[in-house]
Structure 1
Amino acid sequence: MVTVKRLHEVPMKTVLEAWERGFEGYYVNMTLPMAAFINRMVNEDLQLDLSNIMLDGDRPVGINLNGIRKYPEGHVAGWNGGIGLAPEYRGKGFGKLLMEESLKAYREAGAHQATLEAFVQNVGAIKLYEKFGYVVQDKLLFLSTSEPVYFETEAGIDTTYTADLDLPIAVSRLPFYNSRTAWQTQWQSAKGGQSLIVYLGGEPVGYAVFKQNYNIQGELVSIMLYRLEVRPEHANALQVHKYLLGQVFDPGKGAVKKTVVSLEGSQKELVDMLTGLGFSKEFELVYMENELAPAPVPAAE
């Protein structure tokens, strides 16, 4: 008999088994050791009491990870951090059951909006999400290179900007910070990272949120850029982009892997700049949003 439970009701080893089975034969290798799986749960604010596991008897056959974030302006959003079914359970309506449980969890948490990402190749899953009210908003690109990159700015421009390193949360206080972006690009997802805020004449004009990863010898091995944003009314956005990228991906850091996470395809100028400098696309997702109606109130007896 197939049942659905919340993750806090089962041992973590059963949760990981459900993850492994749910993403068997997927577009990318989703296999994770236990420590990495737990780190992902923590780093992306995924919650055991809002996430679901599907069991056939005692055997884990499906999983859905969910997270909730509450923002200062009162907005509450839920994120589907992964939904998967064992191969023999796909195409039999069980995905619909997991989606129903996922949306139920968001409403329990008071979410106004639900978001998710799906690989562009996963047409069947995208159609299922659309049936539940999700709408594609943009494409998300993961771009990377392991070569040194050089960002040429206008002559003298580097002397007109100042920049401060800070914690990722610092960008949330900027008047132009946009919290309505893909989950993994938000400052909360950059745990262990830092922010770089750029000023012109004492006024903030742009920021980057990024993370540098080191091996056990203390050597820099990779840089991940989560978010880069310029004040909308700033007249020279392209130069601010170049300045920020030059600081984050300083060619002096050598041939470490440099990754841009979930860059919106609609930022065509920035995409073109990065690809022109040698960044290539690792994979592409669709970003989807669902504006949630309140849960129906049961009729009084």
Structure 2
Amino acid sequence: MKASVDMNITYKIMSSLSFEDAHVLFNRGFEGYIIPMNLSFDAFVSRFGNTGLSPALSIVAYDGIEPIGFVLQGIKELDGQKISWNGGTGIIPKYRGRKLGGSLMAEAEQLIKEQNVTVATLESLSENKPAIALYERCGYKVEDNLLFLRGDNVLHSTLPSLEDYEILRMPADQLIGSNLFPAIVPWQTEASSISKIGGEAMMISKDGEIQGACLIRKKCEFGNKTESITLYQVMENGNEDALNKLLAHALEYDQPVQRTTYNFLKGNGHAVSSLLASGFENTSVSQVFMTKFF
């Protein structure tokens, strides 16, 4: 790949590095970050498999023979279009402030364009204004804010009666390729991503018609009660009664459970209002969801 006119910078795909060296680069790239990421080697390797990242689609910047920065990327095909995800951009501390971010992003973009990607996506911490500004200069636009809400312990003493509604439950992987949830969403909240970590879908229907649905992941040991539940996505059609019942049953409001949302779209206004009214609270973490269309 081409060399940058700035310093002696060249670019190669991440598979040019061993996983051990890539792991060291990853942790160095996030040193001093707003929320530091210092992954173990096993967690770093698992990140590729669990989130669909690819060393062959990820880019590394070198100064001579020293790896100094990276963009992790993956691609999936949904609804007939290829969608990419920037799963992490980092530059080691001594090379920050040298305007390497733009050229690093450009090299990463070239890789995904060669794979006929039509939509590129990423998330960035809301308070990381320099990173958001960089992505905007690269052509990305903020689509929505992402919430990390939390609601622990018993929220309702009893669950609401379902009356004429019915709750349906299935593994998330059974919804891959369906149009029940949108395709262009934060990468780790999409059905094919959460199916890799034991995700499931819960739907509420009435007279055979789905009134709402959500994607969740429960943590529990066999034979024991649920420890925690993570909510990733909600689909609703304006039936707030059905939505409230669905969330109460899916998130087990009557149990002493730890509940969180993960990269949850603020644009899901009815769902956010329902969660807050039921006792969820905002946390200090928030992100923005950004996209670029080719």
Question: 2:110 corresponds to which residue?
Answer: 104
Alignment of structure 1 residues 83-162 onto 2, 5 Å: 83-150=89-156, 156=161, 158-162=162-166
Query: 2:183 pairs with 153, 161, 179, which one?
Result: 179
State the Cα deviation string for residues 87-129 of structure 1 (Å, max 9, x = none): 2211212111210111111101110111111111111111111
Contact 1:18 1:60 in 2 (8 A): yes
Are 1:208 and 2:214 matched, yes or no?
A: yes
Amino acid at match of 1:199: S
C-alpha distance 218-36 of structure 1, shift in aligned 2 (>3 A): farther
Work out the number of aligned pairs and report it: 284
For residues 119 and 209 of structure 1, the distance between their equivalents in structure 2, rounded to whole angstroms, comes to 23
Query: Shift of residue 149 of structure 1?
Result: 2.2
C-alpha distance 147-60 of structure 1, shift in aligned 2 (>3 A): farther
For residues 68 and 154 of structure 2, the distance between their equivalents in structure 1, rounded to whole angstroms, comes to 44
Query: Shift of residue 153 of structure 1?
Result: 7.9
Aligned-partner SS, 1:251 = coil
Amino acid at match of 1:251: Y
Aligned-partner SS, 2:56 = helix
Query: Shift of residue 272 of structure 1?
Result: 2.6
Amino acid at match of 1:248: A
Provide TM-score, normalisation by structure 1: 0.86
C-alpha distance 214-122 of structure 1, shift in aligned 2 (>3 A): same
Q: Where in structure 1 are there 5+ consecutive unaligned residues?
A: 293-301
Amino acid at match of 1:288: M
Contact 1:171 1:207 in 2 (8 A): no
Query: 1:5 pairs with 1, 8, 12, which one?
Result: 12
Amino acid at match of 2:122: L
Contact 2:156 2:254 in 1 (8 A): no
Query: Shift of residue 198 of structure 1?
Result: 2.0
Amino acid at match of 2:90: G
Are 1:29 and 2:36 matched, yes or no?
A: yes
State the Cα deviation string for residues 41-89 of structure 1 (Å, max 9, x = none): 1121111100112233443321211111101x31111111110111221
Percentage of pairs with the same residue = 29
Alignment of structure 1 residues 1-301 onto 2, 5 Å: 1-71=8-78, 73-150=79-156, 156=161, 158-172=162-176, 174-190=178-194, 191=196, 192-214=198-220, 220-230=226-236, 232=237, 235-236=238-239, 238-254=240-256, 256-282=257-283, 283-292=285-294
Deviates more, 1:217-226 or 1:187-196: 217-226
C-alpha distance 96-229 of structure 1, shift in aligned 2 (>3 A): same
Contact 1:194 1:210 in 2 (8 A): yes
Q: Where in structure 2 are there 5+ consecutive unaligned residues?
A: 1-7
Amino acid at match of 2:135: Y
Query: Shift of residue 134 of structure 1?
Result: 0.6
Amino acid at match of 2:34: Y
C-alpha distance 130-57 of structure 1, shift in aligned 2 (>3 A): same
